[in-house]
Every structure is written in structure tokens, then in C-alpha cells.
Amino acid sequence: MDHYARSLRNTFTGDSLNRASRRRRDTQWLASRQEDETTRFVPLWKSRNLFAGDSFLQPVLLSPYQAREHLPEAESITFLGVRDGNAMFAVGLSSPDDTPPPDLEQLGQFHDLRQVAALLEGQDSALLACARAMTYWHRRHRFCGDCGSLTVSAEGGHLRICASESCRQRHFPRTDPAIIVLVTSGEHCLMGRKPMWPTGRHSTIAGFVEPGESIEDAVVREVHEETGVRVREMRYHSSQPWPFPTSLMLGFTARAHRDPIRVDQDELEHAHWITRGELEHGLRRGTLGLPPSVSVSYRLIEDWFDAGSAVPLREIDPVL
Ligand SMILES: [Zn+2]
């Protein structure tokens, strides 16, 4: 399996959406699409997506008729692309009284995508993640970072331009790269735990890439800073958009000598080397937990575990 195929297996990836970026400047075409009955709108209220159903959730996509009354007062409208011949837009909504629009509440409930992603099909999760990322960016960039004036949306919602005639700075959507790495040494893998996590949860080492830093250097630095372990060798595994709110997770595997662990207490509560047998024992007894199954960190752990176990991790992990 190559890197691209691995990334496609991650939640929030693999959408069949054609982003049709050349259409973003075609204001006439975009306006006509908003009126076309085959078009669909992905509504977001306070960065939450709208879903119908209880145990199995279906995203609610609005027709132009259902979206019409919300468009004039929407915080943002972003052209996402074309899927199966239908134009798709994200619509960021707000309400003065801090309650969801009543007509949309009749269609479903607004949920945090991260909390419900495991209940969705792959393509839907990618579309909803893209819509969430874009509406969040619009909300956080209403003012120019250069001069403080208001900004206005342009190019189908993929650009904001400062409204001040003397500035006119152009602001583009941003993604924050973060590395996440499964470090192994022989039969052991390195797992850490942050104090705010649910009881027992352990995961791989992660951190943001800093300005002026390569992602490889970030892997070496984060592992050493958080645990004192020196990475000797690394390989890129796969990536995953993580719009909570703006990250792109870059997954790696790495090898290290089994150095003594020296935990950075500002970052981690605890870290240790663990074997597959110890992980299985902890999961079966309920004394250990893993990150959400939709995360690339889970996939890194799963790929390592399954490579050396007769029983797949997903048959052992009681949370799934
Ligand atoms: Zn400005």
C-alpha cells in the first residue's frame, strides 16, 4: 500500500468532490448554482454540522429552497466543489439568541463532527470536515490582520480581501501542520498520556510543526521534548485533515533505542514503553484506552499492533 492509499483510509479523506477551483472566480456561474435545484448546501451553526437520525447519523444537506432564507444573513458561503454533478456549498450560520434556526432543528440536530465522525460514511465525513474547516476560517478572519479593517469574502469563499482601500491585503485559508508519530523499539512502542484525557487513555506522541521547521525536525524535537527519547529513523505513514479547528495531521512511524523516559510534565502526565501483550491485557481489563478510532493516531497504533498479533486490534478494543 502506498502513502496515498493509506491516507485514503483515514476518516475525513477520500471525498469524490471535484473542488473545481477554476469556477471560484466565475461569480455568474456561482450565483446561478445557488439557484439550481440540484445544488446542495452544508449548513453549520457555531461550527457544528447538522445530522438526522439517532444511532446512525445522516448529514442533512439543504436544497436551495431550504437554504434560501438563510443565505442573505449567513456568516459565510463557500463553494466546496461539485459532487456527482451537483454544486456543493458550505453555509456558516449564526443566530442572535444563540439557538439554532428553528426550521433547521426540525430537520435534525447540530453535533460536533469530531464526536460523531465514527458513525458516518467516509465520503460524508470528508465533505463535512471541509465545510467545517472553511466556515471556521471565515469566522476567525472577519478582520484584516494587517490593518484591522473588515474583510470581505471573494473567489467563492476561498479568499478574504481587506475592505480598506489603502490596504486590500488578501487573506487565504490556513492549515496548521502537526506531526503524530508512533515510536517503536524492538517489540515495544512509546505511548504517552495527557492529563485532560479520559481515564486510562494513551496515545502516540504529537505536536505542532513550528514556523521555520521541517516536519522531520518536528518529529525528532517533539519526541525528545516530551519523553527524552531520541528518534533514530522515521517513515512517513499517511495524513489526515483534522479541522478541530485547523490542523493537518502528518502521521509517521519511527524507531528509537529504548532510552529511559523523561517526561515533560507540561505536556504529558505519563509515558512508557509498552508491548502488544501489555496493550491487549490493558484493553481487555479496561485499564488502558486508545484515542478515537477515527484518528490517524489510532491507525498508527492499529497498523503496528496488527503486524504482530494474531487477533486484530479492533476485535480487542472494547470501545469500538
Ligand atoms: Zn487591511
Across 205-233, b (16+ Cβ under 10 Å) vs e yields: bbbebeeeeeeeebbbbbbbebbebebee
- Rounded distance from Cα 166 to ligand 1 centre (Å): 8
Cell output for 306: 496488527
- Tell how far the Cα of 153 is from the centroid of ligand 1, in angstroms: 13
Give me ligand 1 centre to Cα 172, in Å. 13
Between the CA of 263 and the centroid of ligand 1 the distance, in Å, is: 43
**Span 260-275, pLDDT tens digits:** 899 988 889 999 999 9
Decide if pLDDT at 122 tops 70.
no
Taking the centre of ligand 1 as the mean of its atom positions, its distance from the CA of residue 130, in whole angstroms, is 26
Contacting residues for 160 by C-beta, under 8 A, at least 6 apart: 138, 141, 151, 152, 153, 154, 170, 171
CATH of 11-140, one of 3.90.79, 3.30.1490, 2.60.120, 3.30.1360: 3.90.79
Whether residue 320 is predicted with pLDDT greater than 70 in this model: the reply is: no
The yes-or-no verdict on residue 123 having pLDDT over 90 is: no
CB 78 within 8 A of CB 58: no
| CATH architecture of the region 176-312 | Alpha-Beta Complex (3.90)
- Give me ligand 1 centre to Cα 165, in Å: 8
C-alpha 110/C-alpha 150 separation (Å) is 29
For 124-167, what is each residue's pLDDT tens digit?
Answer: 899 999 999 999 999 999 999 999 999 999 999 999 999 999 99
Can you give the pLDDT at residue 119? 84
For residue 222, how far is its CA from the centre of ligand 1 (angstroms)?
35
Highest averaged pLDDT of the listed ranges 10-14, 37-41, 116-120? 37-41
pTM: 0.93
Distance 174 CA to ligand 1 centre (A): 17
User: Are 144 and 150 in contact, with CB atoms under 8 Å apart?
Assistant: yes
pLDDT at 259 over 80: yes
First to last CA, the chain: 25
What is the reported pLDDT for 38?
98
- Name residue 299's amino acid: R
Mean pLDDT of 108-116: 94
Domain boundaries, the chain: 11-140, 176-312
Rounded distance from Cα 150 to ligand 1 centre (Å): 8
Q: What is the mean pLDDT of residues 184-189?
A: 97
Ligand 1 is an ion; residues with CB less than 5 A from it: 144, 146-147, 149, 162, 164, 167, 169
Question: Ligand 1 centroid vs 169 CA: distance in angstroms?
Answer: 5
24 CA from centroid of ligand 1 (Å): 22
